Amino acid sequence: MLGQFDICRPGSVAEASAVVAERGDDAVFYAGGTELLILMKERLLEPALLVDIKTIPGLDAIALDPGGRSLLLGGLATHRAVERSPLVREVLPELAAMETAVANVRVRHAGTLGGNLCFAEPHSDPATLLIALDAAFTLASASGARDVPAADFCVGFLTTVREPEELLARITIPLPGAATRVAYERFKTHERPDASAAATLTVDDGVVTDARIAIGCVGERPTRVPEAERALIGQAPSPDAFAAAADLVRDLVEPTEDPFASSDYKRHLARTLTLRALARAGAADGGTNGR
Partner 1 sequence: MAVETTAPAQAPALRLLRMTLNGRPVELEIAPRELLLPVLRDRLGMKGAKLSCDVQVCGACTVLLDGVPVSSCTTLAYEADGKSVETIEGLAHDGRLHPIQAAFIECGAFQCGFCTSGMILSTKALLAETARPTRDEIAAYLSGNICRCTGYWNIITAVEDAAGRLAGDGEEEGA
Q: Which residues bind partner 1 (CB under 8 A)?
A: 1-8, 33-34, 37-38, 41, 48, 50, 100, 103-107, 109-110, 191
Q: Counting beta carbons within 10 angstroms of the beta carbon of residue 248, is it exposed (0 to 12), middle (13 to 18) or buried (19 or more)?
A: buried
CB of 4: closest distance to partner 1 in angstroms? 5
Q: Which of 10, 17, 27, 29 binds ligand FAD (CB under 6 A)?
A: 29
Q: From the list partner 1, ligand FAD, none, pick the one residue 219 interacts with, judged by a Cβ distance below 5 to 8 Å according to partner type.
A: none
Strands (E), the chain: 6-8, 27-30, 49-52, 62-64, 70-74, 136-141, 144-149, 154-156, 159-160, 167-174, 180-187, 195-204, 207-216, 223-224
Q: From the list partner 1, ligand FAD, none, pick the one residue 105 interacts with, judged by a Cβ distance below 5 to 8 Å according to partner type.
A: partner 1
Q: Judge whether 31 and 54 are in contact, CB under 8 Å.
A: yes
Our finding on whether 107 is near ligand FAD (CB under 6 A) is yes
Task: Look up residue 58 and give its DSSP letter.
Answer: T
Side-by-side strand order, sheet with 180-187: 180-187, 195-204, 207-216, 223-224
Q: Annotate each residue in 239-268 with x if it binds ligand FAD (CB under 6 A) or - if it does not, as one string.
A: ------------------------------
Q: Which of 10, 17, 27, 30 binds ligand FAD (CB under 6 A)?
A: 30
CB of 199: closest distance to partner 1 in angstroms? 24
Instruction: Give SS3 for 186.
Output: strand
CB of 25: closest distance to partner 1 in angstroms? 15
Of 51, 9, 2, 30, the C-alpha closest to 112 is 30
Our finding on whether 102 is near ligand FAD (CB under 6 A) is yes
Q: Residues 6 or more apart from 105 whose CB is under 8 A from it?
A: 80
Q: Annotate each residue in 186-205 with x if it binds ligand FAD (CB under 6 A) or - if it does not, as one string.
A: -----xxx------------
Residues in touch with ligand FAD (CB under 6 A):
28-36, 53, 75-76, 79, 102-103, 107, 110-112, 114-116, 118-119, 124-126, 167-168, 191-193
